[in-house]
Every structure is written in C-alpha cells, then in structure tokens.
C-alpha cells in the first residue's frame, strides 16, 4: 500500500478533493492541528497571505515548535528577508545531519506572480511543525524538510514574475547575478538536498494546455542516469497519480496535447538548459521536479468567484506535495543511493559533458564535449571576476600564483565546463582548458 502522509500534509483534507469541496463556504485548507493560519485560510481564498502576515506566521512557528527553526539566510535588493525553515523530528536538523541523511528542499514561488506555491509551503510547514501523529514523527526521523517559503519576496510584493530588477530568477541559477539565486545556490552547497521540489504556476492555452497541474523533471543530459530516473519517477508515479486521485487533471510541463487523443503535438517549454532550477538540481546531483498549477479559470464557478479558482490552485499544489512526500517516504533508500552515487561519480567519470540537447532531444555533435579536459585554468583577473560564483556553486578551485585551477575531478564535475568553457551558452568566463593534471 502506498505510503500516505495526509494527516500532516493536508490538514483537514483527508479525502478526495471535489468541486463541491472547492466551493464550500468553510475554509478549504483549515489546519487539523493547532497553530497559526495564513491570510489565505482566514479569507477562504479571497486573498493571498500578505508579507507581514507571513512574517508573523513564521515567527510563531519558530517560537512554538521545538522541531522547527526559521532563519534569515539572505536579503533581497529591497531589503526583504529570504528565510529558510528547517524541520526535524524533535529538533531542527543541523546542516551536517541534513547532508548525511535524506532531505527535501521546497522552493516556493520563484516567480512573484505565482503565489499558490507559497501558500502550499506555508500551510505544509505549519502542519509539519504542529503534527503530533506517529507517522509524521517517523517520517521526520528519516527525512529532513527544508523550505524557502518565498523565494522572490520583492516580486511577490509587486505581483511581478521577476524580482525588483525585473530579472527572472529561474533563469539565473548559473550566473547567480541576483541575491535570490545566490541564496538558493548557497542552500544547494551547504545542505546538498537529495530532492528539490520547485512550485510554480502557469497560464493555460485551452484546449491543448489546460491541466490543473503540470510537472517536469530535469531534462538536462548532464543529469546522472539514476538521479534522472528518480526524478521522472517522482513525477510520473507519485505526483501526477496522486493529483489525479484527488480529482485534478495533470500533464507534462511544456507539452501541448491533442484534447481528443491525449497525444503530444507540440513542445512549447521545458528544455534542458541548466540555468533553470529543475535542471540545475539535476546537474548538482539532486532529484529535481518542477510543478506548475493552472492560474486560468476554466469553470463557470471559478470565473464567477476568484476565491474558488484560488482554492483550486492551492489544493492542487497540496495534492502534488502529498505525492512528493509519499515518494520521499517510500523511496528514501533509492533516492539516497542515486544522489550519493552521482556525487561520487564526479571523481571518476570520464564521460562527455553536454552543452545542449535534452532527454527528449539528442545533442548534436557540436553540443557534445566528448573528451573533456581534466581542468580549466583561470588567470588572476578571471578568477577575481568569477571566484565568488564558483564558491557559491560549491565548485572547488585551487589558488596559485597565476590565478586558479578548477579540476573536473570533483562532485560538481558536469557543472565545471558549463561555467568555464566558452562553448557553453551560459558560461561565466572563457577559461583555458588544460590537459596537464
């Protein structure tokens, strides 16, 4: 029987979610446990939680729950906090424990005008923090939960996709020009999460692209096979089936399908470029998944009452998270084996590195670095320019009198050419390949 985590994760939502439930006058996501409620919950979906409400909500969790810790780990350009929530069984897990054990990182609302992921993360954090059941305790004994509740606070305040400079953070996970992406890179480096779950929303294009929830794993060819397999399993055997069991439609992100046959007819997004978080996660040896809920109202009830649409958006996110937590509970051993092997492979792998292509789009000969150099050399000026970014990525560089040498023989092997080879579309600098190692 599939591992279920409903009590802690979905609060009062313990049965199939129906249209009638979505339209019910009672708060749709009322917590089954003690603890604060979000602004979304108190308004029954009529509005999204404000940032002052979020701060008060998180402060209370930090104060009341012994297993929960909320830390400010960065600041946006406009001075808003970037906060990390750590949740363990009896106390907040340390960085060392997180690195050594199994862990999941939830990244919530990188795009500021996509708020349902943030709401799902806030209510999930609360339910985990206050849960008293044995199943939650057992789960947290084996899996540390990390949550970045609002990955783009400035964008959320302005209700914009980008941050306060108009930059799409989800296209900055290689260059690390934004404070938000730099903070997320630090989380990858310091905690090495085994699974990264990235919550987004999208606008529908009926009738070809209008599912309640879409998902997609890392398509980058630089993702180790076992990590890729676990990520696609997370999507296709856990998240999507669980969402469907709860009464919602699902699909693969970026693929238009024929409404009559269900067959794919066009790809409009979802490629393998590594600067997008789901692909960055794969390259950095984490099981990554992007989920997108539909913002567009399609039913008459959703058109008549935005709160009905908002509740459907949130609850479909929660259903996806239910599937994700089932995956984490059932496949913990496989996940850890895949991510550990992927990190160790960087010390021995001599295979190619890809500058293009995807798991559904073979790379051309020009996009394949068939025989990578053993290292890249940076002169002093180049290292001064990109050394901070390399450090944030966790890429190991060896300083010397001439600058620095970055060897491929390290856990982030595939990332090195993407950052330093001039043939890479998003390289930080054009370093000199070296075969003298």
404 sits in which H/E element: strand 403-407
Choose between 34 and 273: higher pLDDT: 273
Residues 6+ apart with CB under 8 A from 373: 408, 433, 434, 435
Q: 157 in helix, strand or coil?
A: helix
> What is residue 437's predicted lDDT score, i.e. its pLDDT?
83
Encode burial over 313-339: b for 16+ CB neighbours within 10 A, e otherwise.
bbbbbbbbbbbbbbbbbebbeebbebb
Task: Give the ranges where 305-347 is alpha helix by DSSP (H).
Answer: 306-330, 332-345
Q: Is 367 a catalytic residue?
A: no
183 sits in which H/E element: helix 179-191
C-alpha span between 214 and 343 (Å, rounded): 29
pLDDT band at 90 (very low <50, low <70, confident <90, very high): very high
CA dihedral 176, 148, 415, 325 (to 10 degrees): -160
Catalytic residue from among 292, 322, 336, 389: 292
Choosing from 342, 377, 401, the residue where a domain stops is 342
C-alpha span between 46 and 307 (Å, rounded): 5
**What are 346-388's pLDDT values in tens digits?**
999 789 999 999 999 999 999 999 999 999 999 999 999 999 9
- Total number of domains constituting the chain: 2
Q: Does position 28 have pLDDT exceeding 90, yes or no?
A: no
> What is residue 182's predicted lDDT score, i.e. its pLDDT?
98
Residue 365 DSSP class: G
Q: Is there a single domain that holds both residue 326 and residue 363? A: no
400 beta partners: 403
Q: Is there a single domain that holds both residue 227 and residue 355? A: no
Q: Is there a single domain that holds both residue 81 and residue 100? A: yes
Q: Is there a single domain that holds both residue 103 and residue 174? A: yes
Q: How far is CA 108 from the centre of its chain?
A: 7
**What are 299-328's pLDDT values in tens digits?**
999 999 999 999 999 999 999 999 999 999
Q: Which of 318, 245, 7 is nearest to 132 (CA)?
A: 7
Choosing from 299, 317, 342, the residue where a domain stops is 342
Q: 160 in helix, strand or coil?
A: coil
- Answer whether residue 171 is part of any domain: yes
Q: Does position 250 have pLDDT exceeding 70, yes or no?
A: yes
> What is residue 136's predicted lDDT score, i.e. its pLDDT?
93
- Answer whether residue 230 is part of any domain: yes
Q: Which of 269, 239, 247, 240 is nearest to 256 (CA)?
A: 269
Q: Global pTM? A: 0.94
C-alpha span between 156 and 164 (Å, rounded): 10
> What is residue 359's predicted lDDT score, i.e. its pLDDT?
98
Q: Does position 12 have pLDDT exceeding 90, yes or no?
A: no
Q: Is there a single domain that holds both residue 337 and residue 408? A: no
> What is residue 33's predicted lDDT score, i.e. its pLDDT?
53
| pLDDT average, residue stretch 85-98 | 97
Choosing from 308, 342, 376, the residue where a domain stops is 342
User: In terms of residue numbers, what domain contains 88?
Assistant: 6-342
- Answer whether residue 97 is part of any domain: yes
């Amino acid at each position: 029987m599939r591992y279920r985590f409903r009590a802690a994760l979905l609060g009062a939502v313990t049965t199939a979610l129906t249209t009638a439930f979505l339209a019910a006058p009672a708060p749709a996501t009322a917590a089954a446990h003690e603890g604060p409620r979000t602004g979304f919950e108190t308004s029954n979906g009529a509005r999204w939680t404000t940032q002052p409400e979020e701060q008060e909500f998180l402060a209370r969790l930090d104060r009341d729950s012994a297993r929960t810790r909320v830390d400010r780990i960065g600041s946006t350009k406009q001075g808003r906090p970037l906060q990390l929530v750590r949740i363990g069984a009896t106390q907040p897990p340390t960085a060392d424990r997180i690195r050594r054990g199994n862990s999941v990182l939830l990244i919530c609302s990188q795009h500021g005008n996509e708020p349902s992921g943030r709401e799902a993360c806030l209510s999930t954090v609360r339910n985990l923090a206050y849960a008293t059941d044995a199943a939650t305790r057992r789960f947290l004994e084996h899996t540390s939960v990390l949550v970045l509740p609002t990955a783009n606070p400035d964008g959320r305040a302005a209700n914009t996709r980008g941050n306060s400079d108009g930059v799409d953070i989800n296209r900055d996970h290689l260059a690390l020009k934004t404070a938000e992406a730099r903070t997320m890179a630090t989380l990858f480096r310091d905690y090495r999460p085994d699974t990264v779950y990235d919550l987004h929303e999208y606008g529908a294009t009926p009738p070809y692209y209008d599912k309640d929830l879409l998902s997609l794993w890392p398509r980058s060819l630089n993702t180790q096979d076992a990590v890729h397999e676990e990520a696609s399993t997370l999507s296709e055997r856990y998240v999507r089936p669980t969402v469907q069991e709860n009464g919602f439609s699902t699909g693969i992100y970026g693929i238009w399908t024929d409404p009559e046959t269900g067959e794919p007819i066009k790809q409009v997004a979802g490629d393998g470029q590594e600067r997008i978080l789901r692909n960055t996660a794969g390259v950095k040896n984490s099981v990554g998944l992007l989920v997108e809920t539909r913002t567009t109202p399609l039913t008459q009830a959703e058109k008549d009452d935005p709160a009905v649409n908002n509740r459907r958006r949130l609850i479909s996110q929660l259903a996806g998270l239910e599937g994700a937590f089932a995956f984490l509970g059932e496949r913990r051993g496989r996940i850890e084996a895949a991510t550990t092997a992927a990190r160790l492979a960087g010390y021995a792998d001599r295979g190619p590195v890809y500058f293009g292509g995807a798991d559904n789009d073979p790379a051309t000969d020009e996009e394949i670095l068939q025989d990578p150099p053993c290292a890249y050399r940076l002169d002093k000026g180049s290292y001064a320019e990109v050394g901070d970014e390399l450090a944030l990525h966790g890429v190991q560089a060896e300083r010397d009198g001439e600058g620095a040498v970055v060897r491929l023989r390290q856990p982030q092997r595939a990332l090195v050419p993407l950052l330093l080879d001039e043939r890479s579309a998003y390289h930080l600098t054009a370093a000199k390949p070296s075969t003298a190692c």
